[in-house]
Chains A and B, each alone.
Chain A
Amino acid sequence: MNIDSAVTAAFTARDYKSDVKPVWCPGCGDYTVLSSITKALAELALPPEDVAVISGIGCSSRIPAYLNSYGFHGVHGRSLALATGLKLSRPDLTVLVTGGDGDGFSIGGNHFLHACRRNVDMTYIVMDNRVYGMTKGQPSPTTEPDWDNALSPGGTGLRPFNPLVIALASGANFIARGFSGDPSGTAKLITEAIQTPGFSFVEVLSPCVTFRPDQRDWKKIVRPAPVVPTEDIGQAARRLMTDDGFNLGVLFSGKREPYKLASHKDEGDMASLEKQFAISRGIL
């Protein structure tokens, strides 16, 4: 993807921020993800009114309020369904979906599978902190099996959900992982994700310093993936199945054609709609 070709300098990252101040805990990784999103939008010179950011429920799902674009803070786990409907009815908009691991992979798990499968042109950014932070620290689908805390004594013992593998198997066209401690690198991934047609999935490791203070160590663990992006789904599958969850970068970039409504143009035409309406009422 040729990022250099993006039209630049029309907007600054600040132009995408709203007057609403984030209420996240100081030190939360979501602050820098918000910054990465605004940097990516500025780099792509997308007018705020041409962007819609859809979310579900959770700390990270508050992002639409903090942006100056269109936004919809929707129902828990249903952000992808909302975004799919929006993108199909308004294909001219750049649609971003933001949320957390609980919203996206538990409550919204079913929608995640089918959004990947449908491959509608939008970008899904999941701030993964492996915990339900807003409801005070319950284990999420991506929590390690031995994470011991007051709400899961001894850990859940459950195998974590691997969102990147599931995304690949379900048909997502672009799969990447970023880290909130690397805001510029994450901005680059989001830029590439938006530029890649089809369903793009970006997992951003975003520490919850309140309920997972151990995640402060992530900055010592993450590293650039020692591979070049591949469009070979078999190669990507092998990489992701052996991945330890801390390799950063584009891990798959495919060539699937995004899903579009074939008859969208006709449906949007008022004369055509009126004609259909007349037929259904038996006027013609």
Chain B
Amino acid sequence: MTDQINIDSVADLLAHVKAMESEAMDRYQDLAEQMEVHHNSETASLFRKMAEVESLHVQKVLERAEGIDLPHIPPWEYKWTDGEAPESVSGENTHYLMTPHHALQMALKAEKRAVNFFTRLLEQSGPGMIHDLAQELLDEEREHVELIQAWLAKLPEPDEGWDEDPDPPLLQE
């Protein structure tokens, strides 16, 4: 966890972006599996779709990094500003009855964290290749935010009491 994003080379930045996209993909896959285990296929499909999108982003980063030796960075030494890779959705607020609308809200929050990360990196980096790459990545993340907002607008708001279950899987007796 750090305030200062000390990324000092393009290779270092690409290693961060690769980790960011990979972690996001893994997290979406985990959440899809959680929903599948709880027979919430609609939300599981959405998480699967998000995992596929992130997988394409990983591929894109790898293509961009072709010919560049990316450094190995232990998970705890990435310069994330709040401890976790910015694009990873937080799993703590998931619910077995959550709707695709909730899932997209989580995704939107994660994309906004990515925007904040690149905005701060941009502010902290002087002119040069890191600055240019950060700008490019920031633009991409802003585009993702807009796409998710547009997607979200098409989905119905969850009904009141969406999490009510007359026969919950775990009930204190």
- Given that A21-B33, A22-B37, A184-B83 are contacting pairs, would A151 and B172 also be in contact in the complex, using a CB cutoff of 8 Å? yes
Given contacts A3-B74, A31-B30, A151-B172, contact A185 B91 (CB under 8 A): no
A1 to B82 alpha-carbon distance, docked (Å): 25
B37 and A21 form a contact (CB under 8 A): yes
Chain A residues near B30 (CB-CB < 8 A):
31, 35
Q: Is the CB of A211 within 8 A of B75?
A: no
* A25 touching B83, Cβ below 8 Å: no
The residue that B91 contacts in the complex, of A3, A14, A31, A191, with Cβ under 8 A, is A31
> How long is the Cα–Cα vector from A23 to B120 in the complex, in angstroms?
38
29 contacts between A and B (CB under 8 A): A4-B74, A14-B26, A21-B36, A23-B37, A25-B169, A25-B170, A26-B91, A26-B95, A26-B98, A27-B91, A27-B92, A27-B94, A31-B30, A31-B34, A31-B91, A35-B30, A136-B171, A137-B172, A150-B172, A182-B84, A183-B75, A183-B84, A184-B78, A185-B76, A188-B75, A207-B92, A210-B170, A216-B92, A219-B92
- Please indicate the chain B residues that have their CB under 8 angstroms from the CB of A23 in the complex: 37
Question: In angstroms, how far is the closest chain A Cβ from the Cβ of B20?
Answer: 13
Interface residues of A in 7-45 (CB under 8 A from B): 8-9, 13-14, 21-27, 29, 31-32, 35, 39, 43
Any B CB within 8 A of the CB of A149 = yes
Residues of chain A whose beta carbon lies under 8 Å from any beta carbon of chain B = 3-4, 6, 8-9, 13-14, 21-27, 29, 31-32, 35, 39, 43, 136-137, 149-151, 181-185, 187-188, 191, 207, 209-211, 216, 219
Are A26 and B38 in contact, CB atoms less than 8 angstroms apart? yes
Chain B residue numbers with a CB within 8 Å of A4 are: 74
Measured between alpha carbons, how far is A187 from B76 in the docked complex, in Å? 8
A9 and B76 in contact (CB under 8 A), knowing A21-B33, A26-B34, A26-B96? no
Residue numbers in B under 8 Å from A137 (CB-CB): 172
Number of interface residues of B (CB under 8 A): 29
Partner of B75, one of A22, A24, A31, A39: A39
Chain B residues contacting A26 (CB-CB under 8 Å) are: 31, 34-35, 38, 91, 94-96, 98
In the complex, A256 Cα to B73 Cα: how many Å?
Answer: 31
Establish whether residues B74 and A136, one from each chain, have CB atoms under 8 Å apart when the complex forms: no
Contact A27/B78 with A137-B172, A210-B170 known, Cβ cut-off 8 Å: no
Proximity bits, B158-173, A CB within 8 Å = 1, else 0: 0000000000011111
Number of inter-chain CB pairs below 8 Å: 78
Inside 8 A of B94's CB, which chain A residues have their CB?
26-27
B154 at the A interface (CB under 8 A): no
A26 to B34, CA, bound (A): 6
Q: Closest Cβ of chain A: how far from B28's Cβ, in Å?
A: 13
Contacts of A9 in B (CB 8 A): 72
Q: Mark B24-62, 1 if CB is under 8 A from A, else 0.
A: 001000110111111000000000000000000000000
- Count chain A CB atoms within 10 A of each CB in B75, B83, B171 and give the residue with the most: B75
Q: Does B93 contact A (CB under 8 A)?
A: yes
A188 touches B74 (CB 8 A): yes
A8 to B33, CA, bound (A): 28
* Closest 3 pairs between A and B when the two form their complex, measured CB to CB: A26-B94, A188-B76, A184-B75
Taking the nearest CB of chain A, how far is it from the CB of B117, in angstroms?
15
Chain A residues near B36 (CB-CB < 8 A)? 21
Chain A residue with Cβ nearest B171: A136
Asked if A209 contacts B75 (CB within 8 A), the reply is no
Q: Mark B116-144, 1 if CB is under 8 A from A, else 0.
A: 00000000000000000000000000000
Known contacts A27-B91, A27-B93, A136-B173; 12 additional CB pairs below 8 A are: A3-B74, A8-B72, A9-B72, A22-B34, A25-B96, A26-B35, A35-B26, A43-B75, A149-B172, A150-B172, A188-B76, A191-B74
